[in-house]
Structure 1
Amino acid sequence: MSHWTLDDIPWDAFDPSRVDPELTRIIKAAALTERNSGHYSKYLCNVFRDDPEFCAKAETWAEEEVRHGDALGRWAELADPDFDFEDAFGRFVNGYVIPTEVEASIRGSRSGEMVARCIVETGTSSFYSALRDAVDEPVLKEICRRIAGDEFRHYKLFYSTLKRYLDRENISRRRRFLVAVSRMQESEDDELAFAYHCANTPDRPYDRAASSRAYAARAFRHYRSGHIDRGSAMVLKAAGLAPHGRLGRLFAGALWRYLRFRLRRLDGEIPTANDTGARSAAA
């Protein structure tokens, strides 16, 4: 697993002239969800309560997720001195509660749970890889590089656990694919929308649809086809399908077209420089 700490980040290299104020909005939201991800370890250890080896690794995973949130939160406070990370996180956890008191996976099996976790790590590794390649501010670029590397390793952890449990449960490829697609659809659920609201518009009533659109418009624009290609291969692998060849190309192409379609639908969600007095993030 990862061995870096906040002290390894070159904070002195922070360059405020390279901060994109619209990208800062999604970093604030990501900081909240990353730190809160650590709570999922309790859920996972309930589901895998008789697997101490995995639970120990899940606890380490949780510690790293919390570190990701702390790094992003600290950067966001540098980028926007009016942002209070702890205050925003308090609002978020008070309004978004992760159900951890369970005895079985909501995915129907432990293998299904690991497929879902692989999909989550695919999304985060792709997201931070896209940001790493897009941002100009050197400290944020380094943070995203480190987080992306962690998320790829987390995928490997959950995928290796998936293979171990498939030997016992042997769920079908169809079932694995359905779990994968279901978890991908959940990526636009209330969590990110509420995090965006708590981090950026806490003085307004919460509007899930508006917050979801605002987040997506700022996040989706940073993806390039290479990020989608790698992510689609990871999804298919977790689903038990061939990640390369014709199927891989079709799936990656469909994801890329969907992303471009969503961006066209979201056109106008990001204010221009004339609207805000800030540099246009859509330029």
Structure 2
Amino acid sequence: MNAVPRAVERGTPGSRGLMAFEDVADDPTARPGRRHWCLDDLDLPAIEHAAIVDDEALFYLLVSASFIETGSDTYTSNLAEHYAAHTDVAAWLTGQWEPEELQHGAALKAYVQAVWPEFPWQQAYDSFFAEYAPLCTVDQLEPDPRLELVARCVVETGTTAYYHTLRELSREPVLTDLLGRIRTDEVGHYKHFFQYFRQLQDGQPVGRARVARVLHARLRELRESDSDVALRHVYAHKGRLFARGDPSFEAVSRRLYALVSSRLPADQAVRMLLRPLLLPAWLERRLDPPIARLATWIMAP
């Protein structure tokens, strides 16, 4: 998804924190050889319905996320083909990244259907996918495989921040657990994309100016993200759910983006965004404030 814990150097006030890049290796759920979580690990019968069923914002945000994650295999084949010459990258994309993304979609779908069984999930998803699938083309990828890995780092930064934000908004324990699991996966995905970028850089480096161009362009594209498409189809199929809510899709969209952008952990996201530039630590620190302001402006409604 294009959009936004335990250990954190700095965090937003009242935040439970976004796991920093360096902290991934210290998280037991992110260690090589671990058993990846599965749907049976989620205690769906224990959902505290009173804590979530009337939360209109989380309804929209969770359903739209479930759509995008469920459709992730649409562009996995494009990426795998793009990295056919880099067999380790292609193998990871199809063997780990795609299954984990699809599992996120299945888990979010299961949660949504448990809380809002009257929502026609499959009908709404089919409508969404008919519009979304044609957008997932090879033309969207950066021609240079090194720069596409940079673009992937931006996307994974956005999804990490997004799921962190949803977790902060959650007051329902099963949902909080699920969002924490997904967020940890997204941090791990970011780490893989970054490590593959470093490997390709070691062989034939691409200049920082080109990396910066991709970072800036992809960050700006987050405003015109896949979530806009998904949200429209959630709104179109919600029926009588939240009938007393906002009177138009535009009003719903403005309110949701205001809510999410006000909670995004910009400081940690900026550190993730700056890593592909491979800057000295002192320069990263100097760039933190202006990049944070840019990120906040882009993500604002």
Q: Is the 8 A contact 2:235 2:249 kept in 1?
A: no
Q: CA deviation at 1:28?
A: 0.6
Give the Cα separation in 2 of the matches to 1:126 and 1:248: 16
Partner of 2:274: 236
**Structure 2 runs not aligned, ≥5 long:** 1-29, 240-247
Q: CA deviation at 1:14?
A: 0.6
Q: Is the 8 A contact 1:176 1:239 kept in 2?
A: yes
**Structure 1 runs not aligned, ≥5 long:** 205-209, 264-283
**Identical pairs, percent:** 26
Q: CA deviation at 1:41?
A: 1.5
Partner of 1:247: 287
1:15 is aligned with what amino acid?
E
1:154 is aligned with what amino acid?
H
Partner of 1:155: 190
Give the Cα separation in 1 of the matches to 2:215 and 2:294: 15
Give the Cα separation in 2 of the matches to 1:120 and 1:24: 23
Post-superposition Cα deviations, 1:149-182, rounded to whole Å, max 9, x if no partner, equal 0000000010011111112331111111110111
Partner of 1:142: 177
- Selected match of 1:189 from 224, 247, 263: 224
Q: Structure 1 residues 12 and 240 mapped into 2: Cα distance closer, same or farther (>3 Å)?
A: same
Give the Cα separation in 2 of the matches to 1:43 and 1:188: 23
1:90 is aligned with what amino acid?
D
1:22 is aligned with what amino acid?
A
Give the Cα separation in 2 of the matches to 1:134 and 1:203: 21
Q: CA deviation at 1:101?
A: 6.5
Partner of 1:108: 143
Give the Cα separation in 1 of the matches to 2:201 and 2:272: 17
Partner of 1:79: 115
Q: Structure 1 residues 191 and 223 mapped into 2: Cα distance closer, same or farther (>3 Å)?
A: closer
Partner of 2:14: none
Give the Cα separation in 1 of the matches to 2:250 and 2:156: 20
- Selected match of 1:16 from 38, 49, 55: 49
Give the Cα separation in 2 of the matches to 1:164 and 1:84: 45
Between the two proteins, the alignment pairs up a number of residues equal to 255
- Selected match of 1:171 from 191, 195, 206: 206
- Selected match of 1:221 from 236, 259, 265: 259
Q: CA deviation at 1:45?
A: 1.1
1:239 is aligned with what amino acid?
L
Give the Cα separation in 2 of the matches to 1:161 and 1:117: 11
Post-superposition Cα deviations, 1:47-68, rounded to whole Å, max 9, x if no partner, equal 1112222111101101111111
Q: Is the 8 A contact 1:24 1:79 kept in 2?
A: no
Q: CA deviation at 1:220?
A: 4.5
Give the Cα separation in 1 of the matches to 2:213 and 2:49: 44
Q: CA deviation at 1:91?
A: 1.3
Q: Structure 1 residues 240 and 224 mapped into 2: Cα distance closer, same or farther (>3 Å)?
A: farther
Q: CA deviation at 1:92?
A: 1.5
Q: CA deviation at 1:37?
A: 1.7
Partner of 1:131: 166
Higher relative contact order (CA 8 A, sep 6+): 2
Alignment TM-score, normalising by the size of structure 2: 0.76
Q: Is the 8 A contact 2:120 2:237 kept in 1?
A: no
1:107 is aligned with what amino acid?
E
